[in-house]
Each structure stands twice: as structure tokens, then as C-alpha cells.
């Protein structure tokens, strides 16, 4: 499976999270804790099948990981079972590079790299 096999969008083209739009962050908990997009849904890649009910099947689902490797498989899986999912090219590294908002829990400033 490759990037060309799944629908992909630039971080610039990810719409605002809200009604009808889900940003699914599939990174591990330690990566999430460092920084993530406000309003994103966090489900580590290995947990996606078990937590599929947590993802709105009627929404456009934008899947993000650190740089794009893990999200490819998740997008293929979601689209195969009826979701409208897109891989976010460049992942959270690209998200931070272009200055999209980040948040983190606690007193530490949010960062991806």
C-alpha cells in the first residue's frame, strides 16, 4: 500500500474540525501528549478497529499521524468499511511547520518536533 492508493490532502486543505469533519490522530499516547490539533480525536492506530464506533461514519475523516506512514493504512481500512477518509500528507510535522494550531495537556508548550 502506498500514498497513491488512498485519498490524500495537504494540511492546508484540512477543513475546520466540527460538524461533519473529524480529525483522527492515530499517533501513540506519548506523541499525542507532546502536542496535537485542538479538537482532534485520538485513537492510536492499533486501537482503531476496536474503537470504530467512536468515529462518526457520516463525517469526512481526516487521518493524521506524525509524518504520514501510519495514516495510510488507517485511511485504506476506513474507506474499505464505508467511511469517507483522507490521509493528511506530511502529518503533524507538516501541521506544525505551516503554523496550524497545536495544544498540549499540562504546562508544557505543544510541539511535534
Q: What is the CATH number of the domain that holds 28?
A: 3.40.250.10
Query: How high is the pLDDT of residue 107?
Result: 85
Query: Could you give the 3-state DSSP secondary structure of residue 51?
Result: helix
Arithmetic mean of pLDDT, 73-102: 97
Asked whether residue 8 is assigned to any structural domain, the reply reads yes
- With 0-12 / 13-18 / 19 or more C-beta atoms within 10 angstroms meaning exposed / middle / buried, residue 29 is exposed
Asked whether residue 74 is assigned to any structural domain, the reply reads yes
Percentage of residues in the chain with pLDDT exceeding 90? 89
Asked whether residue 108 is assigned to any structural domain, the reply reads no
Dihedral in degrees, nearest 10, Cα atoms 83, 89, 92, 93: 170
Full-model pTM = 0.95
pLDDT tens for each residue of 11-62: 999 999 998 999 999 999 999 999 999 999 999 999 999 999 999 999 999 9
Asked whether residue 104 is assigned to any structural domain, the reply reads no
Asked whether residue 89 is assigned to any structural domain, the reply reads yes
Arithmetic mean of pLDDT, 74-101: 97
Give the total number of structural domains in the chain: 1
Mark whether 65 is an active-site residue.
yes
Q: Which domain holds residue 9?
A: 3-97
Asked whether residue 56 is assigned to any structural domain, the reply reads yes
Asked whether residue 67 is assigned to any structural domain, the reply reads yes
| Active-site pick, 11, 48, 65, 72 | 65
Amino acid at each position: 500500500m502506498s500514498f497513491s492508493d488512498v485519498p490524500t490532502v495537504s494540511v492546508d486543505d484540512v477543513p475546520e474540525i466540527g460538524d461533519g469533519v473529524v480529525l483522527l490522530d492515530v499517533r501513540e499516547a506519548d506523541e499525542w501528549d507532546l502536542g496535537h490539533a485542538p479538537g482532534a480525536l485520538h485513537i492510536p492506530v492499533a486501537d482503531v478497529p476496536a474503537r470504530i464506533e467512536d468515529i462518526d461514519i457520516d463525517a469526512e475523516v481526516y487521518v493524521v499521524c506524525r509524518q504520514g506512514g501510519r495514516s495510510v493504512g488507517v485511511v485504506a481500512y476506513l474507506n474499505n468499511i464505508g467511511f469517507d477518509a483522507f490521509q493528511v500528507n506530511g502529518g503533524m510535522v507538516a501541521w506544525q511547520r505551516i503554523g496550524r494550531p497545536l495544544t498540549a495537556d499540562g504546562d508544557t508548550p505543544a510541539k511535534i518536533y
